[in-house]
Structure 1
């Protein structure tokens, strides 16, 4: 049985981080949380009536509460069970000029045998090449709602090159964000560690800031699936992701302060 002191210890850890990352030059970090799927797009299905779209939204709402409590300026791509296309999510997010983007999903396996034995958490950042066949399969499933072709984009060659250069540092920071979140996610939930992965996710490809996609567990697993639907476990997930975000912002603030650039931190001056 988990210790009743666990939620208190987690809260104290967050409160300890907040003053450390506060500073006179800070502005609140603007964070976009993207609950996967929604509306007619239910995503993966778990035991009973468990659906990925519902689990993703529930965890995202809890994550928003924790990040706002730490002083963040937080927005959700959807706050209800509504259908929002991947293209709309990317465009809306960029319109808000975010400092961070976090997409929340739940994983699944296609066969009964694989569903019975596959569980654990994965944290992804964007790459043209996937870490392996399993990572590519996850990206293919989550990209199923993406436009069939990107050939119709109207950007000029020069504009595309400039955008690509502007995203270079954001891509490096996406890796840093993933590695800040993932070990805390494993430690906070004691879920199976399936590692930090890379894959070509559509929703990450157009966002102009450090961006990660978190697969919070396998909703298709007979034990982990129901666990994802429990409020107390969702709290652990949200708390662990928050700790990772705060740690990332703390380190980023130090780096940007040394450069003399405007600093984004979760606490306003």
Structure 2
């Protein structure tokens, strides 16, 4: 009987190994969030192009690439020009139990002088405080659609602590996701590198998955605003975002892969 087990165990390992491998490589579930929509136009280009339209176009391209290149299951918070309050975006995302969350936006400057001068890409992850004045301004602009005040949750101190501990790893992975995507965006687009930044974006707060907000460029800049409307440039951005997501998922899966304990050699019969 012992000799038969010695033969059976390696055979079982042979047949089960591909199953374990496929489980580790299951399709990722990703929520893509095109900013604004409906009555919320967002930023406007010098020629009247609206952020809500550019964000949706790029998000749709990102979905296509994620599905085609990664086999991912991609869910959009909106796939047409409709209004969707920020709390509903967060609620929708959490119901999907995603592996990660991507929010797509365009930036803008408020004055004629800064509109003519400021351009470039920024990638954000959540923080209670902004990295700098630029990050604070971006968060304030994107948070303009948020509720003016949040209802008190009334959570116990213990529940708050447990929730905070649960979010620590998610926050760290949000940082990793941002740093995986951002350099690929800069390399693919040739845009000015305005860095990976942190800011208190409402749409990132409460998402129970690694989450980033990508400002794909300054729609208010005459040249960059024009580039953002071009299909070939949008394709570069979508391909770069997909490449960053692919690199991030590979890193996380490698980190989280179960480590097989060493198996002792069978005793001699």
Please indicate the TM-score interval, normalised by the length of the shorter structure: 0.7 to 0.9
Question: Corresponding residue for 1:62?
Answer: 61
Match of 2:39 in 1: 40
Pairs within 5 Å for 1:99-118: 99-118=99-118
Match of 2:179 in 1: 179
After the TM superposition, which of the residue ranges 250-259 and 120-129 deviates more from structure 2? 250-259
**Counterpart position of 1:27:** 26
The structural deviation recorded for 1:156 is 3.9
Alpha-carbon shift at residue 232 of structure 1 (Å): 0.8
Higher relative contact order at CA 8 Å, sep ≥6: structure 1 or structure 2? Answer: 1
Distance 1:148 1:29 in 2: 34
Give the deviation of 1:74 after TM superposition: 0.5
5+ residue gaps, structure 1: 1-21, 261-269
Which string of whole-angstrom CA distances, capped at 9 and with x for unpartnered residues, describes residues 93-118 of structure 1? 00000110000000000000000000
Deviation, structure 1 residue 247: 0.3
- In the TM superposition, 1:109-258 aligns within 5 A as 109-258=109-258
Distance 2:156 2:145 in 1: 26
Mapped to 1, the partners of 2:154 and 2:191 lie a distance apart of: 43
Cα–Cα, structure 1 residues 259 and 158, in superposed 2: closer, same or farther, change >3 Å? farther
CA–CA separation in structure 1 for the residues paired with 2:153 and 2:132: 28
The answer to whether residue 90 in structure 2 is matched with residue 77 in structure 1 is no
Secondary structure of the corresponding residue to residue 26 of structure 2? strand
107-116 vs 251-260, which deviates more?
251-260
Deviations, residues 148-182 of structure 1 (Å, cap 9, x unaligned): 11243344443332222111100000000000000
Q: Distance in 2 between matches of 1:160 and 1:84?
A: 28
**1:23 positional shift:** 3.8
Residue by residue over 1:37-65, the C-alpha shift from the partner in whole angstroms, topping out at 9 and shown as x without a partner, is 00000001112230000000000000000
Q: Distance in 2 between matches of 1:149 and 1:141?
A: 16
Secondary structure in structure 2 of the residue aligned to 1:223: helix
- RMSD value, Cα: 1.4
